[in-house]
Each structure stands twice: as structure tokens, then as C-alpha cells.
């Protein structure tokens, strides 16, 4: 009967089935637990209920528990469940257009750190990569963390703490450059990250989003590595931002931040479907920490993650001697996604770009009807992540 109902709903292109269900075994436990506790115990397979258990096995989900639903139902103590089965193949027939696919194209820049003699040399290289991304009709192009430290290679300042403040003086040119490139080449730019001196005279590691409509957003790096504190005296940010774009909501988590799962969960709960992670690591061990954590965040939050790193070396620049990277785009791990949960990846330690497509509609469907449903199956009764800035 249930399968016949599902087939009918799919054939008629109906959105869902909503039913009221008895819980006929509840009277046996009514003196020990509330109706909600009983339903939760059945859901966890600790108690068998002939109606509710069968509905759960048929992929119905609990919407709510209704008291006084059937006054004569003494076995259910007058309680009933409201259950729903969603038709994932449903297509709206209204005038409103619903996409069966929502592709987003991402260009990831794996950037070679090289000695330069002026800001314009870096700007020329950045424009080249943005041009490549635009020619491929990319929606986003992402640069690595602090790739702008190559500006230090011509500043002739041996002290790292003074060099970083001199480099921060180029912030207006950096912002103007990427703002113009985003509009001119019609692509949203994650401008890596850049050291910025703010009004409090502290230096922050800030990642910028330059939208193709000319607007700008920024995300402060929240977790600062021991090296950043030791060499440059970098201060930490304290807010998780989620940004609206013409390709949905995104977040940026700079390098070390992706290694803290709470931040990705907060961003996901705020609606982010893609998390971009510009990074800069000097060895394979550091790189693998970023990579493995980005892959884990993609799986546990059912999102896409993107990592973009620096390669090459700046031998005359303190704390930027060597780089290691293999940039990539990651997806959840399920049948509808790429094998191994890897949309694409670059070769290690070569300057190049990676262009890959992600599909936000597949993401939506997988959250609803995937093999596993990490977001839906969270135990809010046992744990939660508290974001203290809301």
C-alpha cells in the first residue's frame, strides 16, 4: 500500500505524502515516558511500534506529535504522529522556474610565489589568472592565502614585523585591483588573503570577496598559527561570515580555520553551500592537515569545499622560504558526486589552474535523499555548537 502511494505521488508529480499515524503500543509505556520520549525511542529502534516503525522504514519523517488526535484511541493515549514522505523527483508546475541542475563553475589558482620588483608585476599575474577564469565562464576564481607577501620581496625590509606593515600599505591598490578585475571580467573573486593594518593599528589576515557587481566583503582569519604570531604579530578575528552571491551563499575560512569543524558547521547552519579555503603551507604535513580537514568538512556538512594554495619560494623573504600545495575542489562522498569526493585537483607544486563544476541542486537532493544525511541526523538533544556572536 505504501509503495503504491509513492508510485502514485511520483506519477502525478506531487510534492509529498503527509499522514497521521497512530502509536498503538504507547499505552504500554505511558506511565514511564512522555509521548515524545516514546516516539524518540521508537525512532532509535529501542522500542517497536507496529505503525510508527513501519512508517519510518518507509522513509517517512516525523513532522510533529499531535495530542487529542483520536479521542477514542486508548492504545495511543489519544496521541498521533504527523509524518511526511518527500518526493525528491517533484518538479514544480507553477510559473516559477525550478532548476533540475544548478551548476557553479570554480577556477582555483595555484599560485607560484616569485620575486617581483613592483606591485604591477603581481597585478599583471593576477589579471592573467582572472582572464583565464573568465574565458572559461567561471563563476568564482579563488587565489591562495597571503600570496601578496611576494610584495615583501622588493620592500628591502629585513624585519618581518616592519615588513608586514610596509606590505599592508598596498591594501588600497590590492582592493582597487581586484574590484576592477571582478567587474571587468565578470567573475566573483576570492582574493586569497592579505595582511591589513586597521584603525586599531593591529595587523589582520583578511580574505576578501570581490563580487562581479563591484561590491566587497571580508572575512577575518579567526585562528592564528604560532608562526603568524611569532613572525608578523597577526591579530585574530572573531566572526564567521556567510556571503550572498549570484551563485548562492558561500563562506571563506582561511587555512588554519578549516581545521576547526565548529566554524564550518556554523557557516553551514547559516546557509553556506560552498566554503573557500585559501591556504599557505610550507610542507606536506601542513598541506595534508588543510586537505584532510577540508574533505572532512565537505562530508560532515554536505557542502563543497575548495582549497587554493601557494607554491614556489621566496628565498629572501623571512618565513616565506618554501611552499607546498596541491589545490582541489571537494564534494560530499555519495553516488551522485565525483569518485572519492574529489571534483578535481591540481598537480602538486606546479603553478596552474583547476577549473571544476559543482552542482548545488545535486547537493540539495543529496541532503534530502542521500545514502546518509549528516545534517538531518544530528543529535540536537545530545550536543550543539554555540556561536556566541549571534
For 127-143, the pLDDT digits (tens) are 999 999 999 999 999 99
Answer yes or no: 221 catalytic: yes
Cell (9 digits) for 75: 492504545
Cell (9 digits) for 333: 562522498
Q: Which fold has domain 103-369?
A: Nitrilase/N-carbamoyl-D-aminoacid amidohydrolase (3.60.110)
Record the pTM: 0.78
Answer yes or no: 255 catalytic: yes
Q: Is 274 exposed, middle or buried (0-12, 13-18, 19+ CB in 10 A)?
A: buried
Average pLDDT of the residues in 1-15: 87
Answer yes or no: 145 catalytic: yes
pLDDT of residue 319: 82
Minimal CA–CA distance to 356: which of 109, 98, 101, 99? 109
CA 45 – CA 50 distance, rounded (Å): 12
Q: Domain spans of the chain?
A: 2-86, 103-369
Cell (9 digits) for 129: 589568472
Q: Which entry of 77, 126, 145, 228 is annotated as an active-site residue?
A: 145
Q: Residue 3: pLDDT above 90?
A: no
The CB-based long-range contact list for 32-40 (8 Å cut-off, 24+ gap) reads 35/65, 35/67, 35/77, 35/79, 36/65, 39/65, 39/81, 40/381
List Cβ neighbours of 372 (8 Å cut-off, separation of 6 or more).
334
Q: Which entry of 107, 221, 247, 345 is annotated as an active-site residue?
A: 221
Q: Residue 92: pLDDT above 80?
A: no
Top CATH class, 2-86: alpha beta
Q: Which entry of 107, 126, 255, 280 is annotated as an active-site residue?
A: 255
Structure confidence by residue, pLDDT tens digits, 236-246: 999 999 999 99
Minimal CA–CA distance to 236: which of 246, 244, 226? 226
Q: Residue 94: pLDDT above 70?
A: no
Count other C-beta atoms under 10 Å from residue 285's C-beta.
9
Amino acid at each position: 500500500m505504501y509503495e503504491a502511494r509513492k508510485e502514485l505521488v511520483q506519477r502525478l508529480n506531487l510534492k509529498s505524502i503527509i499522514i497521521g499515524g497512530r502509536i498503538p503500543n504507547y499505552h504500554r509505556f505511558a506511565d514511564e515516558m512522555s509521548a515524545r520520549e516514546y516516539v524518540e525511542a521508537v525512532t532509535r529502534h529501542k522500542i517497536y511500534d507496529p505503525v510508527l516503525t513501519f512508517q519510518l522504514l518507509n522513509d517517512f519523517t516525523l513532522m510533529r506529535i499531535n495530542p487529542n488526535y483520536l479521542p477514542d484511541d486508548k492504545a495511543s493515549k489519544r496521541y498521533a504522529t504527523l509524518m511526511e514522505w518527500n518526493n525528491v523527483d517533484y518538479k514544480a508546475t507553477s510559473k516559477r522556474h525550478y532548476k533540475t541542475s544548478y551548476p557553479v563553475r570554480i577556477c582555483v589558482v595555484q599560485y607560484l610565489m616569485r620575486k617581483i620588483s613592483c606591485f604591477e608585476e603581481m597585478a599583471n599575474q593576477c589579471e592573467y589568472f582572472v582572464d583565464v577564469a573568465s574565458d572559461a565562464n567561471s563563476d568564482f576564481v579563488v587565489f591562495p592565502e597571503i600570496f601578496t607577501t611576494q610584495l615583501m620581496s622588493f620592500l628591502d625590509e629585513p624585519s618581518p614585523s616592519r615588513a608586514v606593515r610596509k606590505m599592508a600599505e598596498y591594501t588600497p591598490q590590492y582592493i582597487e585591483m581586484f574590484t576592477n578585475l571582478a567587474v571587468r571580467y565578470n567573475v566573483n573573486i576570492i582574493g586569497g588573503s592579505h595582511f591589513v593594518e586597521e584603525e586599531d593599528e593591529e595587523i589582520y589576515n583578511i580574505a576578501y570577496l570581490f563580487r562581479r557587481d563591484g561590491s566587497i566583503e571580508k572575512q577575518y582569519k579567526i585562528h592564528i598559527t604560532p608562526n603568524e604570531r611569532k613572525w608578523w604579530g597577526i591579530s585574530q578575528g572573531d566572526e564567521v561570515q556567510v556571503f550572498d552571491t549570484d551563485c548562492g551563499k558561500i563562506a571563506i575560512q582561511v587555512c588554519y580555520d578549516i581545521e576547526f569543524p565548529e566554524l564550518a558547521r556554523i557557516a553551514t547552519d547559516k546557509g553556506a553551500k560552498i566554503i573557500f579555503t585559501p591556504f599557505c603551507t610550507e610542507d606536506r604535513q601542513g598541506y595534508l592537515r588543510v586537505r584532510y580537514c577540508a574533505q572532512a568538512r565537505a562530508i560532515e556538512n554536505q557542502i563543497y569545499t575548495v582549497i587554493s594554495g601557494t607554491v614556489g619560494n621566496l628565498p629572501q623573504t623571512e618565513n616565506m622560504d618554501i611552499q607546498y600545495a596541491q589545490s582541489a575542489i571537494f564534494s560530499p562522498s555519495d553516488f551522485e558526486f565525483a569518485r572519492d569526493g574529489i571534483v578535481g585537483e591540481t598537480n602538486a607544486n606546479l603553478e596552474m589552474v583547476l577549473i571544476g563544476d559543482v552542482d548545488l541542486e545535486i547537493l540539495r537532493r543529496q541532503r534530502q535523499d542521500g545514502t546518509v544525511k549528516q545534517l538531518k541526523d544530528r543529535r540536537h538533544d545530545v550536543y550543539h555548537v554555540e556561536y556566541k556572536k549571534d
